[in-house]
Structure 1
Amino acid sequence: MQIASQTFVDQGLKYTPKFYTLPLNHDDSNQGNIEVFVREVTYADGSNHDRPWLVYFQGGPGFPSPRPNGHNGWIKRALKDYRVLLLDQRGTGHSSVITHQTLAAFDSEQQADYLSHFRADNIVRDAEHIRQEMGVEKWAILGQSFGGFCSLTYLSMFPSSLLRSYITGGVPSIYPDADTVYQATFERVKEKNHAFFRQFPLAQTLCQRIADHLMDNEEFLPNGQRFTVEQFQQIGISFGMSDTFLPTYYALENALIDINGKSVMRYEFLDLMLQHQGFQTHPIYAILHEAIYCQDAASNWSAHRVRQSYPEFNYQPGQAFYFTGEMVFPWMFEQYQCLKPLQPAAERLAQKADWGKLYDPEVLANNTVPMTCAVYADDMFVDMDLSRQTLKHVANSQAWITNQYEHNGLRADGEHILDRLIAMGDQIAANQA
């Protein structure tokens, strides 16, 4: 069922919503359809009506396209050269959204089969279908994080449909398997932990106190879910973003309180911990996160297996405390309230070994589409060295490697970052001429 949606104008920008009915499986239309939602962003006065389109691919997987609030950031810069198309990737936002509620009518086998169609290859096929329906000859793409993975898939599958490709914090590894990726990212997470505890030495004591308390006492989040050490460790995902160390320290200071001589967790802290659990509302992120790295192989809970080579992340009383990052683990489907109904499907997908190819190395090696990337040297989510290995194999690509930003650079300073990437793309195009 489509939501009621309307065209509106805000701060000189016109927002036009559109829905497209597309196949769940682009190779077999008999498997039914899904709805995919996009929002067009243009100047309200129509002054950029003749400019090419720029399609935005959101990070994740499993999160909708931005809902802009103002004429600012990367959209402000993009609209100088393009019209912008904000795509809610299938399963997110208004695009046949996937939650524990919408999947409840399926058994686990049906859930797993349905979810297997929600990776980058089909996200790209959706975009390509929409391009054709719109009658657009070629358009540009901008991919943030996982959106950058989608961009490289687009360059592999439909390069003749693209004018330019801009990627921020999301050049994927096209050869290493999931284990190699997680070995690299665990190292990056360790570095972030060391930086945090170096800046706030007392935080180590506070974290150990919280972890020990959770091991000895039952504490429950506002949704009734028991809060555990493993869940507490996962708030370290925020360390991949800028300006998160200090808010984390403030939260640690505010975790425990004595009531009648007994130490308990403050409700406001527990409420904050629940807010950190985006897996509850965006289950694709948990269920398909490892699958974004899989080509002709199963993940077999890669992060969980790699974690065993890093015993420091398995907290025990008396040892140093470490936060984890964006990794997903099988126990999450035993603990998280909204993931519990999806545990059998998640297990099926973790064992699925017949994932299709996401990238075509030969096509990328002969790429003619100007591709410019912001690669963040300190990125906790996408390892710089793996990104650089990929870029060696993509023709007409150029990277701006910087330690000025964290993974969320596009959100923090998008106007400047996109401006630089557009200028770099213009230079590649000029050199091709």
Structure 2
Amino acid sequence: MSDLQRLAGIHCRKHFFSLPLDHQAPDGECITVFARELVAPEHTDSNLPYLVYFQGGPGFGAIRPAANGGWIKRALQEYRVLLLDQRGTGLSSPINYASLAHLDSQAQADYLSHFRADSIIQDAELIRAQLIGDEKWSILGQSFGGFCVLKYLNDAPHGLHEAYITGGIPSLTRSADEVYQATYKRALAKNQDFFARFPDAQALVKRLAAYLQQNEVRIATGERLTVEMLQLLGINIGMEQGGEPVYYLLEQALIETAKGTQVNPLFLAHFCQLLDFNTNPIFALLHESIYCQQEASSWAAHRVRQTYEKFNYQADKPFLFTGEMVYPWFFDQFTNLKPLKHAAHLLADKADWPMLYDPAKLADNQVPVAAAIYSEDMFVEMNYSLETAAQVGNLKYWLTSEYEHNGIRMDGEHILDRLIGINRGERLR
């Protein structure tokens, strides 16, 4: 067909859907939601079932495939894959300071309140109806995408044939404070691993931190590089092959010139490439809200950090990277977040977030669910994932120390194949 695109081993088709901003007001303002459909060339005309992919985040568009590989290769053997740009990301009415500039802070916060998992799942159900009517489809969620899978099971199980989760089983009841109390401990362990792997990294980063405290240094996007901003590189050390880029960047951070020690321009450019806060603002704006059920987050990661004083850097103490935490000062330091500062504080103070999960309903779940739980995951606490797995009916899991949080990116074909086998009764946990 004329709208078919061809990649290496994949045929693609674009879909754009006009959907309500507020599903409680279906005749009100609409947004656009984009999805990219993938099919193996030999199955282009076949009537295969759909597998919908929910990206991690929140606030990141779906992966943009270049060729038939990884988990997509396994999926395309028996599915049409639908890569969903969750609302506000990618080509789905993207959210940023420019797209929200016409609204005042309260209106921005009100608008953003419609971009959690509950709205994402209602989008998916409307898309399902448009694409396949009453037929069921299968879903796969990575990280925050796994949170979306649990919400789908909670809200619309009638639309699902089966479900898969990798590195993303949330607690059904625990607060944001409890989540961060656990993940700060995980971050401490990952720091220990990182600095053990690279014995000179502590000296390199402390030398750089001292330089930043004594000099005004600006990264390629214009922001002043502070020590607390430097600590944010830790979001990478919880990924397989994520620590290496951080170390190699530290190796090149400072150079000697005719005018003395200076920060390497290469470092200033590459630093920006390892952080997504300027380019993906939903992550900073709504990350803590993914844990909120009828309570405010009140900047939970910032408050909990005060009980882990090791993360508050002092020159006479070891340097520690932080993890997947969002802090209020982001909206003072990151250029593209500054215009959204007041909306961010309103969202942090919002205490009437709807409930996300009904434990009684999930206990009675009939949809087959297979999940990969990574015991060393820095971002999703293993014990909370196991706690939830015991509370959700028909959920089988594979607990492994073989992968980090981004396992599906590193070995997705094998991981998805194993999960499919679990759901089909071929492998047990």
Cα separation, 2, equivalents of 1:32 and 1:429: 47
- Selected match of 1:316 from 309, 314, 317: 314
* Distance in 2 of aligned mates of 1:163 and 1:269: 48
Deviations 1:12-47 (A, max 9, x none): 421010111000000013440000001111123436
Please name the residue that 1:7 is paired with.
4
Q: Residues 302-354 of structure 1, C-alpha deviation per residue, up to 9 Å, x if partnerless?
A: 00000000111010111110000110000110000110000000000000000
1:272 to partner: Cα distance: 1.2
| Partner SS, residue 303 of structure 1 | helix
Q: C-alpha distance in 2, partners of 1:24/1:229?
A: 39
User: In 2, Cα distance between the equivalents of 1:243 and 1:94?
Assistant: 28
Residue matched to 2:71: 74
1:198-277 → structure 2 map (5 Å cutoff): 198-277=196-275
Question: What SS does the corresponding residue of 1:129 show, helix, strand or coil?
Answer: helix
Q: Which amino acid aligns with 2:93?
A: S
Match of 1:65 among 62, 65, 88: 62
TM-score relative to the length of structure 1: 0.96
In 1, the alpha carbon distance for the partners of 2:125 and 2:258 equals: 63
The one-letter amino acid paired with 1:252 is L
Q: 2:94 aligns with which of 89, 93, 97?
A: 97
Question: Which of 334, 359, 362 is the aligned partner of 1:361?
Answer: 359
Contact 1:42-1:49 within 8 A present in 2 as well: no
State the one-letter code of the partner of 1:105: H
C-alpha contact 2:255 2:264 (8 A) present in aligned 1: yes
Asked if residue 130 in structure 1 is aligned to residue 122 in structure 2, the reply is no
Q: Tell me the secondary structure at the aligned position of residue 41 of structure 1.
A: strand
CA displacement at 1:277 relative to structure 2: 2.2
**Counterpart-to-counterpart distance in 2, 1:353 and 1:428:** 45
Contact kept in structure 2, 1:48 and 1:82, CA below 8 Å: no
Deviation at 1:161, TM superposition (A): 0.8
Does 2:111 align with 1:114?
yes
Aligned residues: 426
Residue 352 (structure 2) pairs with residue 346 (structure 1): no
Contact 2:116 2:290 in 1 (8 A): yes
2:295·2:353 contact (CA, 8 Å) conserved in 1?
Answer: yes
Q: Which runs of 4+ in 1 moved over 3 A?
A: 45-48
Please give the per-residue CA displacement for 1:91-111, whole angstroms capped at 9, x wherever unaligned. 001000011111111111111
- Counterpart Cα distance in 1 of 2:212 and 2:38: 47
> What amino acid is aligned across from residue 187 of structure 2 in structure 1?
V
Counterpart position of 2:284: 286
Moved more, 201-210 or 172-181: 201-210
1:337 is paired with a residue whose SS is coil
Aligned mate of 2:305, from 280, 304, 307: 307
Q: Distance in 2 between matches of 1:216 and 1:10?
A: 50
Letter in 2 for 1:394: V
Q: Structure 1 residue 247: deviation in Å?
A: 2.6
Letter in 2 for 1:147: G
How far does the alpha carbon of each residue in 1:221-264 deviate from its partner, in whole angstroms, 9 at most, with x for none?
11221111011000010011101223322211111112235321
The answer for the alignment partner of 2:36 in structure 1 is 39
Q: Percent identity, please.
A: 53
- Tell me the TM-score normalized by structure 2: 0.97
Match of 1:336 in 2: 334
Aligned pair 1:29/2:26, yes or no? yes
From 41, 49, 52, the equivalent of 1:52 is 49
Q: Distance in 2 between matches of 1:246 and 1:37?
A: 34
Take 1:171 and 1:359, find their aligned partners in 2: how far apart are those partners? 12
1: CA distance between counterparts of 2:334 and 2:47?
A: 48
Q: Is the 8 A contact 1:120 1:153 kept in 2?
A: yes
- For the residues of structure 2 that align with 1:68 and 1:419, how far apart are their CA atoms? 19
SS of residue in 2 equivalent to 1:240 = coil
Q: Partner residue of 1:419?
A: 417
SS of the aligned residue for 1:81 comes to coil
Distance 2:182 2:372 in 1: 19
**Distance (whole Å) between structure 1 residues aligned to residue 203 and residue 16 of structure 2:** 52
3-state SS of 1:152 partner = helix
* Mapped pair 1:16 → 2:22: no
Aligned partners of 2:220 and 2:269 also within 8 Å: yes
1:167-182 matches, within 5 Å, as: 167-182=165-180
Instruction: Name the SS for the 1:280 alignment partner.
Output: coil
Structure 1: which amino acid aligns with 2:68?
Answer: H
What's the CA shift string for 1:140-169, capped at 9, x where partnerless? 000000000000000000011101010000
- Does the aligned pair in 1 maintain the 2:161–2:367 contact within 8 Å? yes
Amino acid corresponding to residue 116 of structure 1 in structure 2? S
SS at match of 2:424: helix
Counterpart CA distance in 1 for 2:292 and 2:55 is 20
> What is the rounded CA distance, in whole Å, between the counterparts of 1:242 and 1:429 in structure 2?
25
1:165 pairs with 2:163: yes
Kept in 1, the 8 Å contact 2:40–2:77? The answer is no
Deviation at 1:119, TM superposition (A): 0.3
The answer for the alignment partner of 2:149 in structure 1 is 151
Matched to 1:175, the amino acid is T
Counterpart amino acid of residue 61 in structure 2:
P
Partner of 2:393: 395
Could you tell me how far 1:49 is from its partner in structure 2?
Answer: 2.1
